Structure 1
């Protein structure tokens, strides 16, 4: 306190006495008094850097450019890639970093083929250097496969093994023109070509179109000058003829026990000794869905392509298969094979009975349409346009029953007259192969579908469509079946459903009727309506036969008709008189009869 109060102040305590003499301290000349608090004058940013959390990934201060541009200090990371310019770059390929380089596709292809053929290629980063087999690179001078050309000796040796091109004025026989089709022979055969002109060095003169180099050994000179015996004879004209092969002879064979009965009648006679009247109007009785297999026919060696009951009575069954044969079967009595019709060299695509049943048509991949006599098996007509027929249909009208339509692979529908064999009309508005032809409106019109995913309606005899339907959601319609009431036609669509179109003037789609639940994609599978119009039946790619109710569209029943070995059921037909009999056939070549 004495230092603050000064030397001239004493204690005010009267009781205090001092026995010692008092001495006076010196007084300073000036006194400094600081009343402000202590302030830290150091850089706060550096203080935050010093106090920053080392585990934090975010900066809590604004770093200066000088701090950010300082060189890295401290020991190097032993796990970090070093060396080269790509040490700090991330991988863009599984094995590291690949630098992009500008190189044309042609150059890359040439270098790639060179490496595959010769074992070397140029270094992309240093084009003057090579990688791979350096010995081959030195041997071939670093040339790529584009620059490699065979020497004259190699070219001459190759040309010497080729036949003479021949004289263009000769079509057949010795010296016939071969041109670019001249063949190359083995090393021990040479052809005697025209001698090279002696005034010009061999290899220096340009060869004419019918000249080639020949290198012959002296020991083989005589053999080379002799006419070569190993040259095949000129091809027969029939071998190069691209016209339809109609030379297949038509034959028939009767297989039944007896061709005539005791009254001299053939199998064309409708039997009267049955418990059912086969002469009544089809569809006059109520139909039911078949449940069991009652008979099996086995004679075809390949897939069944068509099944047709005899018109109205149904006492005969016509079958056709990919083996090129058509067969007539007895649907009653002993159910035996009656007759085989042979006359096609390839698979039969479609068949159709004449409305009276006396004749029937067969269409085949051999581009022939043939008309057969049902009773005696004679071929009474042949028709062809040079294209493959996919579908054939007789005109059901009695006054026009001598004419039929054929849908061809060349987008045309052709109309033939069976009496004269002449082509009388063409309908050529489709854009792809024809799939179906269906007569509607009392046989005055017909509907056709095609692989162009369209539907067209025509007046019979007029080659201009009266209705054209092609929607973006439509699929190709591969098979058709008219309803017995004549107002609708059901079509097998390629999207695993059956669609229905009207058969009247407007030809509109009935969207309320759609039958689903089966698989038919990839196959041309038949569909049929029952004679009374109550049910709709269709095959299936898994070997089933599906039955729907026509009014409700509900699937009633499904039976496995493809056998244990499987295979699609592609053909079926409903008996016109029986209440619940259906015949089916498929890829296994077996015909099954259901009731």
Structure 2
């Protein structure tokens, strides 16, 4: 026992001395021992203190006045009012908080734009939005290439972003321009053909830009950033047309693709809602509030009558446009979160990047069932929302991965055909050019955008 006493009290009876003799000798903290009169652990328990007195409980027959076990202590104070000093301190903290909040909300970042080419218009008065006709491929046709081939080599690198690129979008229809948004808070517009210059930089967010989306004709685009603002820009002049915020972070943003609904867009927010805005009034006109986690993707299907959303709650929900109740909810215990979704060129399939390192395929028409025969594996994406894409003829599926590789699978056999080391860090997006047989554009967290052929 002696050792245990020693450990607790830091003194003990000296075991080498005969205890039968009257004088006790101690080892360790001798002063402590003398102070405690040599009491052991078992003896040194302090005397029980006086019990706090309670207010008498009254008579149990008196229903209103009976206190019973709920009676207060006699010395109990009711008020919890802070003292003068505490009050001063609290006031200061509150004032600081208010000030900080106000600054953030009142001041959306100043918008400006830089034109990087000498002349805004060419000799015929056409801006860079004009589709070029001398690039060896008809960018105006609605026909897809008949047969696509695997890209093999790097053709070009677009550099200009100082931090990771988070998303890239091709100009609708023609794909002759490329829009990129980055963690350096900037958005850039690049040429895909000819000199492949950077045409314009759009500056107007104070934090990393998460997503961008063109309207149908490409004259305007939306940007969503971590500064909680969604901004609408003019692609040609670089002017910021309007700003939208509901004080939550928008994770994805999409225009309604219908020609007659180009004034409406939806955004998936960090607070689990999908919010629908009207550009003309700047008002929120609808809220789809059923997800249980932040909303990561929104994809229009079924001739834009419906859209599919995925979320951190590991579910996939299908909504009728303008009806705030999901009519289909897909969630299996085995499902992982799917932070990137792409609709196939023929509109029949949704390719979903799943966080368990596979791409799952769901039917995009009426049933929305998982196609168990088509699962694309062999890449590492856990933790990253790597954007998937299809070749225009539906023969290949492409995706980046966490190691910066570009992976290309065969659609029919789901075999991984080809891997290219594309970026030093995460390859976050891969786009197959809709008019080209083998041109793929990738972007990564190393800040580069690359063209492969």
Specify every segment of 5 or more residues in structure 1 that has no aligned partner in the other structure, as ranges: 1-83, 85-97, 102-107, 148-163, 169-176, 183-233
Which of 190, 193, 196 is the aligned partner of 1:332?
193
Separation in 1 of the partners of 2:144 and 2:416?
21
Separation in 1 of the partners of 2:238 and 2:98?
32
Report whether the alignment pairs 1:520 with 2:381.
yes
Separation in 1 of the partners of 2:277 and 2:30?
75
Determine if contact 2:310/2:339 at 8 Å carries over to the other structure: yes
Partner-residue secondary structure (3-state), 1:477: coil
Distance 1:446 1:123, change over 3 A: farther
The corresponding residue for 1:594 is 452
Correspondences of 1:74-473 after superposition (within 5 Å):
121=10, 132-135=28-31, 165=84, 177-179=88-90, 235=96, 238-241=99-102, 244=105, 246-281=107-142, 283-473=144-334
Which of 424, 427, 436 is the aligned partner of 1:569?
427
Which of 489, 499, 504 is the aligned partner of 2:360?
499
Separation in 1 of the partners of 2:161 and 2:320?
38
Q: 1:419-452: CA deviations, max 9, x gaps?
A: 1111011111110011111110000001111111
Q: 1:462-517: CA deviations, max 9, x gaps?
A: 01111111111000011001111111101000000000111121111110110001
Separation in 1 of the partners of 2:370 and 2:386?
21
The corresponding residue for 1:228 is none
Distance 1:493 1:272, change over 3 A: same
Determine if contact 1:165/1:180 at 8 Å carries over to the other structure: no
Report whether the alignment pairs 1:474 with 2:346.
no
Correspondences of 1:51-62 after superposition (within 5 Å):
none
Report the alpha carbon displacement of residue 246 of structure 1 after superposing the two structures with TM.
3.7
The corresponding residue for 1:582 is 440
Report the alpha carbon displacement of residue 343 of structure 1 after superposing the two structures with TM.
0.6
Distance 1:178 1:576, change over 3 A: same
Separation in 2 of the partners of 1:329 and 1:419?
28
Partner-residue secondary structure (3-state), 1:178: helix
The corresponding residue for 2:345 is 484
Determine if contact 2:319/2:328 at 8 Å carries over to the other structure: yes
TM-score (ref. length: structure 2): 0.82
Specify every segment of 5 or more residues in structure 2 that has no aligned partner in the other structure, as ranges: 16-23, 47-82
Report the alpha carbon displacement of residue 141 of structure 1 after superposing the two structures with TM.
9.6
Q: 1:356-376: CA deviations, max 9, x gaps?
A: 101111111111111110000
RMSD over aligned CA atoms reads: 3.1
Report the alpha carbon displacement of residue 241 of structure 1 after superposing the two structures with TM.
3.3
Separation in 1 of the partners of 2:37 and 2:296?
63
Report the alpha carbon displacement of residue 411 of structure 1 after superposing the two structures with TM.
0.6
Determine if contact 2:176/2:191 at 8 Å carries over to the other structure: yes
The corresponding residue for 2:400 is 539
Q: 1:287-323: CA deviations, max 9, x gaps?
A: 2221100111111111110111101101111011101
Determine if contact 2:311/2:339 at 8 Å carries over to the other structure: yes
Partner-residue secondary structure (3-state), 1:308: strand
Separation in 2 of the partners of 1:404 and 1:289?
35
Report the alpha carbon displacement of residue 135 of structure 1 after superposing the two structures with TM.
4.0
Distance 1:167 1:328, change over 3 A: same
Determine if contact 1:165/1:179 at 8 Å carries over to the other structure: no
Separation in 1 of the partners of 2:11 and 2:130?
88
Separation in 2 of the partners of 1:249 and 1:134?
73
TM-score (ref. length: structure 1): 0.63
Q: Which has the higher contact order (CA 8 A, sep 6+)?
A: 2
Partner-residue secondary structure (3-state), 2:187: strand
Separation in 2 of the partners of 1:267 and 1:325?
19
Aligned length: 403
Name the structure where strand makes up a greater proportion of residues.
2
Distance 1:263 1:410, change over 3 A: same
Partner-residue secondary structure (3-state), 2:242: strand
Distance 1:338 1:138, change over 3 A: farther
Separation in 2 of the partners of 1:142 and 1:260?
98
